[in-house]
Amino acid sequence: MPSPEDVKATIKTYILEEFLPGEDPDELTDSVELMTMGILDSISVMQLVSFVEEKFDCSFDAHELSVDHMNTLEDITKLVTSKL
């Protein structure tokens, strides 16, 4: 089972490559509000969920695709690790 740090690193790499190409990785801290700031929107969050489900072999619920659960890297990591 991957550690929370591995999960976070994988998700961070995916977000940087897919949605923030060219951005300084240091700028994407654990507390950056990805959904509130518009980095993740209804389209990209669906892409992210598909990636995470496939990568970590887990399953989300539709209501979890929200600011409550996926606003920051920290939130997403917590959600994913809770499913592993």
Partner 1 sequence: MAGKLAQAKAAAAKAAAPKPLSEQLLEMSLVVAQLAVVIAAATRYRFESPAFQKSLPWIGVAVVAHHFLPQRYRMPFFTTISMVSVVYVLGIGPAGFDIASALKQAAPLIGMGLFLIALCHLPIAYGVRVALLFATGGFFMYARGGTVFDGALASVWPLLAAFFMFRLVIYAYDIQHEKKRPPIAQTLAYFFMLPNAFFPFFPVVDWKNFGRGYYNDDALRIYQRGLQWMARGVMHLVFYRIVYYHFYIDTAQVADGASLLKYIVANYAMYLRVSGQFHMIVGLLLLFGFNLPATNNHYFLAESFTDYWRRVNIYWKDFMVKIFYTPVAFRLRGRGAILPVVLGSAAAFVATWFLHAYQSYWLRGGMHFSAQDSIFWTILGVLVMVNAAWEVRKGRRRSLSKKVDWRDTVSSTLGTMVVFATMSLLWSLWSSPGVSEWLAMWQHVDATFFGYAVLTLLIVGAVKVTVTVTAPWRGGLIYGNTPKGANIRQLATVAVITVFIPMTLIYVLGDQRVHRRVDAKTKFILKSLKSNQPNTSNLRSMERGYYENLFDASSSNFLDSGIQAPPDWVDFPDMPLVELTGDGRYWTLTASRSEVINGYDFSTNAFGMRDKEYTLEKPDDVYRVAMLGSSHLMGWGVNDGETFGAIIEERHANERPDGKRIEMLNFGVGGYSPVCQLAVLREKALEMKPDAIYYIAHAVDGALAIERFARLVQHQIPLEDPFLNDIVERAGLTTSMSQLAMQRELLPFAEELVLGSYKKIVELASDAGALPVWIYMPRVPERDLHREPIEKLIAAAKEAGFITFDLSGLFGDTEVDDMVMSQWDMHPNAPGHAMMADATIEAMRSDPRLGFSKESEAR
For partner 1, the binding residues (CB under 8 A) are 18-21, 23-24, 27-28, 32, 36-39, 41-43, 46-47, 49-50, 53, 60-63, 65-68
Could you tell me the smallest distance in angstroms from the CB atom of residue 5 to partner 1? Answer: 20
Q: Rounded distance, CA 15 to CA 63, Å? A: 21
Which of 1, 38 has the CB closer to partner 1? 38
Identity of the residue, 6 or 68, whose beta carbon is nearer to partner 1 in the bound complex: 68
Q: From its phi and psi, is residue 34 left (phi > 0), alpha (psi between -120 and 50) or beta?
A: alpha
3-state secondary structure of 80: helix
